[in-house]
Structure 1
Amino acid sequence: MSSEKPMTKVLIFGGKTGWIGGQMHDMCKEKGIEVVNAETRIENRESLAKELDEVKPSHVLMSAGITGRPNIDWCEDHKPETIRVNVIGTLNVADLCNERDIHVTVYATGCIFAYDEKHQLGSGVGFTEEDVPNFDGSFYSKTKGYMEPLLKNYPNCLILRVRMPVSDDLFHRNFVTKIVKYERVVNIPNSMTILHEMLPASLAMAKKGLTGVYNFTNPGVISHNEVLDLYKKYIDPTYTYKNFTIEEQAKILKAARSNNELDTTKLMKDMPEGVEINEIHKAYELCFQRMKENLTKMGWLPDNMPAEFVRK
């Protein structure tokens, strides 16, 4: 579905301290779109309503949420807090925007699926937007799995299933940064989201007034080892890594992790003109080329990487 309205003013929840929200704020500014970072916490419905009425945005970008620090294992021990933000807060934003006829883009997650009989690893058969979440191995994914069927009922809502997001630097939320720091990694092909390509796409989709659920990843899948090999190629030739099995990984994690392939047919079909989205291997190659350039400018390369990235 789409109902296009001019994008005159954007209000971002998660823009002040959030990773994706912050990048969307900068992007809106660069494109000359009036943009405001929300002050309100999304779980506070009354102050949220007041801010919407004061700012009067044409579009809302909603990337606020709890993922936990340092990772989603935190949510296992903080369930009420996780629900308050990820469920009640997200519904507040969708509901209050719907009352005011404001288009809202929710940066959700695709970590609500796991390979199964119908979608086997390596089969090339990905989960579609119509598939019902089948992964609840972590409380974080559970709350996100509850949300999607509810959000789908809001006619003003664009729901983007982001997975394992990757930036052109070594920011701590970047999927690459996370796996580079691990002693051992599993080696499983996954759908992933290269933010440099996908975030401008999200803005174009919001402008076009698209609504409903979209798998928001680059087409195709890439494995952990392929990613780390690219890291080695472009960033640190001395880097080494070891693999372990999912069973071995499970012993050191509080919550299971989702591994899946998402089907991007609908996304690519509805993508506004002029937006370029590459297959995941090409997108990653370009990402690491930009990362090398960025880290060189920062003085980290060729041989001045912070200690936590240097594998002895």
Structure 2
Amino acid sequence: MTAQNGSSEPVFLIFGKSGWIGGLLGELLKQQGAKFEFATARLEDRAAVIADIERVKPTHVLNAAGVTGRPNVDWCEDHKIETIRANVIGTLNLADTCLQKGLHMTNFATGCIFHYDDGKFQQGNGVGFKEEDTPNFTGSYYSKTKAMVEDLLREYPNVLTLRVRMPIVADLVYPRNFITKIIKYDKVIDIPNSMTVLPELLPLAIEMARRKLTGIMNFTNPGAISHNEILGLYKQYVDEEFTWSNFTVEEQAKVIVAPRSNNLLDTTRIEGEFPTLLPIKESLIKYVFEPAAANKEEVKKAVREMRGR
């Protein structure tokens, strides 16, 4: 089958060059020897988006751009217009342009639009939110905009929406790594959550784009793991002297601006596409903690310096 750029070889256009996931996607595609380029346009600038597409002539668009906030999603609470412009207007603009150009778009979204409840989705009962479930968490403005745009993107037949949660990489001092965040804190809550181990899952995202899958996909490893379990693995594999303490959700609320989402996502669909996908704990051991253990002293030193200890 010949692609729309006249070639049988896929060509990827990545939005989000300066972002974490966008950069990782570029590294992966380079390793695969695939043809790709980074976009230069801002998502909300339709003319610039079209110019990027005409310049690169992609067969696949990967959107990892948008606003998450620095240092965290609390930023969005005081920058609502900027958040709307990037996460809603920009994302819809790109999806609409891709549809008009006949291009498949993979959109890296969030699974932080759900929250455990007192009914069907109670913490610990093993029932996860499915792709078709209606979001029930709008506690943060970031999550609110993400839920809005996900609902609208359902109507676009060319879009695959991947719900990322608490993304993790092997580098334990990288500031956006979920594990880095909780290692750095003096106190953490202890709630089981679905999470995304990027070294395992990002290559699957590229394969899903190649397959031109569409709709919504819970883009997490199967199962859930708690903060204490993760820190326990760090203690076991890297630093046996590591200590931490817990606080309640109510205590946490006093030190953050917007509430945080905690949930379990159902992974039936992604496991159907990739049956060898590892459960979250096994994935963490293989892709994070075993590599860390191989450089234990170096990792331990870097983490202690980061913590100021």
Q: TM-score, normalised by structure 2?
A: 0.93
Alignment match of 1:259 (pick from 262, 267, 271): 262
Deviation beyond 3 Å, 4+ runs, structure 1: 4-7, 301-306
Q: 1:281: Cα distance to partner?
A: 1.0
CA deviations 1:38-97 (Å, max 9, x no partner) are: 111112111111111111100011000111110000000000001100111111111101
Q: Hey, what's the Cα distance between the residues in 2 that align with 1:223 and 1:155?
A: 36
Counterpart CA distance in 1 for 2:106 and 2:289 is 28
- Cα distance change on mapping 1:234 and 1:247 into 2, 3 Å: same
Alignment pair present for 1:235 and 2:238 = yes
CA distance in 2, matches of 1:44, 1:260: 34
Call closer, same or farther: CA 1:302–1:133 in 2, change over 3 Å: closer
8 Å contact 2:14–2:63 — kept in the other structure?
yes
Shift of 1:7: 5.0
Q: In the alignment, what sits opposite 1:282?
A: 282
8 Å CA contact 1:197–1:276 kept in 2: the answer is no
In structure 2, C-alpha distance between the alignment counterparts of 1:26 and 1:205, rounded to whole Å: 17
Q: Which residue of 1 aligns with 2:181?
A: 178
Give the deviation of 1:304 after TM superposition.
5.0
CA distance in 2, matches of 1:130, 1:92: 23
Taking the aligned partners of 1:233 and 1:157, their CA distance within structure 2 comes to 41
1:12 aligns with 2:14: yes
Aligned partners of 2:108 and 2:293: how far apart in 1?
27
Query: Is the alpha carbon distance of 1:19 and 1:209 closer, same or farther for their aligned partners in structure 2, counting shifts above 3 Å?
Result: same
Residue 152 of structure 1 is matched in structure 2 by 154
Query: Is the 2:10–2:210 contact (alpha carbons within 8 Å) kept by the matching residues of 1?
Result: no
CA distance in 2, matches of 1:132, 1:87: 18
Q: Does 1:141 align with 2:143?
A: yes
Within-5 A mapping of 1:243-254 = 243-254=246-257
Q: Check conservation: 2:137, 2:143, Cα contact below 8 A.
A: yes
- 1:1-312 map, 5 Å: 8-14=10-16, 16-116=17-117, 117-170=119-172, 171-271=174-274, 276-286=276-286, 287-293=288-294, 300-303=298-301, 305=303, 307-309=305-307, 312=309
> In the alignment, is the contact (CA less than 8 A) between 1:7 and 1:59 conserved in 2?
no
Distance 1:304 1:291 in 2: 11
Q: Distance in 1 between matches of 2:272 and 2:208?
A: 12
**Aligned CA distance change for structure 1 residues 28 and 268 (closer, same or farther; 3 Å):** same
Tell me, yes or no, if the aligned pair for 1:300 and 1:306 is still in contact at 8 Å: no
> For residues 10 and 73 of structure 2, what CA distance do their matches in structure 1 show?
35
Consecutive unaligned residues in structure 1, runs of 5 or more: none
- Report deviation, 1:17: 1.1
Give how far 1:139 is off.
0.3
Q: Structure 2 unaligned segments of length 5 or more: list them.
A: none
More deviation, 300-309/206-215:
300-309
- CA spacing shift, 1:7–1:225, aligned 2, 3 Å: farther
In 2, the alpha carbon distance for the partners of 1:104 and 1:259 equals 28
The CA distance in 1 between the partners of 2:75 and 2:180, in whole Å, is 19
